[in-house]
Amino acid sequence: MIPSNLPSFLRLLLVVTLFSAAALIPFAGLLFLLFLPLLLYVLSFRNDPGTTLVAFLASLCILLLALSLMQTYLPVLALAAMGGAGILMARMATREYTVEFVIGLPALVVLGSIVFYFFYGGMQLSIGPWDLVKKHIVEAVDANITLYSRLPLNPEEIQSLRSSRSAIVGLFTAIFPALCVVAVLFTLWVNLLLGGKFLRRQGVVLRRLSALSEWKAPSLLVWIFIAGGGLALLPQTQIGFAGVNVFLTAAFIYFLQGLAIVSFFFQNKEISLFFRWLFYFLIAIQQMLMIAIAAVGFLDLWIDFRKFFRKAQAAE
């Protein structure tokens, strides 16, 4: 518990510092890091935005001094990127920017920090940034193969997994840019949704962000989606990889539009929270359901599902 008699700035500094420090804990800290934007987003509305920014920068300095004793500095980059994304989201939301800008610009900040990490880390190891990407993927694949080998699986299945190691590494290396973009966009989207729920309970309503269930992807995206699919079919390896990454990123944005349509349907039909969360859980574990939701988002360009739901409700 944080003492209530502390000055407001010290309380704010303590909250941000403790949350950021928790993000440095191995394994479990990842959860704190993923929701650091949510914390800074909400605190920027509950406190003066400038004061929140000063408290966040002060907490980074404190943690940087602590990490310097262990001769490591890069973890502060992740904290700065994620926390800065939350503050930037709040700044743009108060100025009533559209959701594309509220999420898009902070996403560029986080993605820029990822690019910086691989360039800087590659220089430290005297290898190229793409070689560092492959190194991390190889380590992750090997760790998973080791984990699966300890499970009670058939020896043939384990051997098949080991024999396909090179193909798995090649696949994840090729689509790594799209995986980064998808992970960052989804993380910030979830933080924005949860932040909106917290703020509404406190009477803060952001006009442009209050109805995300009505959100639609920009119409220009369909041409990017088609171009990415076309480039992916070309025989040139580098161009094909670029096309695949563009295609996957565009498909994920349509997946977000599909989720917005699903959310609109749930609200329209007043589906209980239990069944909503059950359906979202099924989406998370069923890849075919993800593809179906993305297809709904893509087809909404011509069908306009939400208009259909409104007409169906009016006819009842």
DSSP string across 142-177: HHHHHHHHTSS--HHHHHHHHHTHHHHHHHHHHTHH
**Helix, strand, coil percentages in the chain from 3-state DSSP, rounded to 5:** 80, 0, 20
Helices (H) and strands (E) in the chain, counts: 15, 0
What is the per-residue pLDDT for 147? 83
Closest C-alpha among 207, 16, 182, 19 to residue 103: 182
d(CA 98, CA 91): 12
| Cβ pair 51, 99 in contact under 8 A | no
What is the per-residue pLDDT for 54? 94
What is the per-residue pLDDT for 6? 57
What is the per-residue pLDDT for 7? 66
Q: What residues of the chain score a pLDDT lower than 50? A: 1, 5
What is the per-residue pLDDT for 4? 53
pLDDT tens per residue, range 288-305? 889 999 999 999 888 888
What is the per-residue pLDDT for 190? 93
| Cβ pair 36, 89 in contact under 8 A | no
Residue boundaries of the structural domains of the chain: 1-210, 217-316
What is the per-residue pLDDT for 135? 93
What is the per-residue pLDDT for 283? 85
d(CA 74, CA 29): 15
d(CA 308, CA 316): 13
What is the per-residue pLDDT for 313? 62
| Cβ pair 230, 250 in contact under 8 A | no
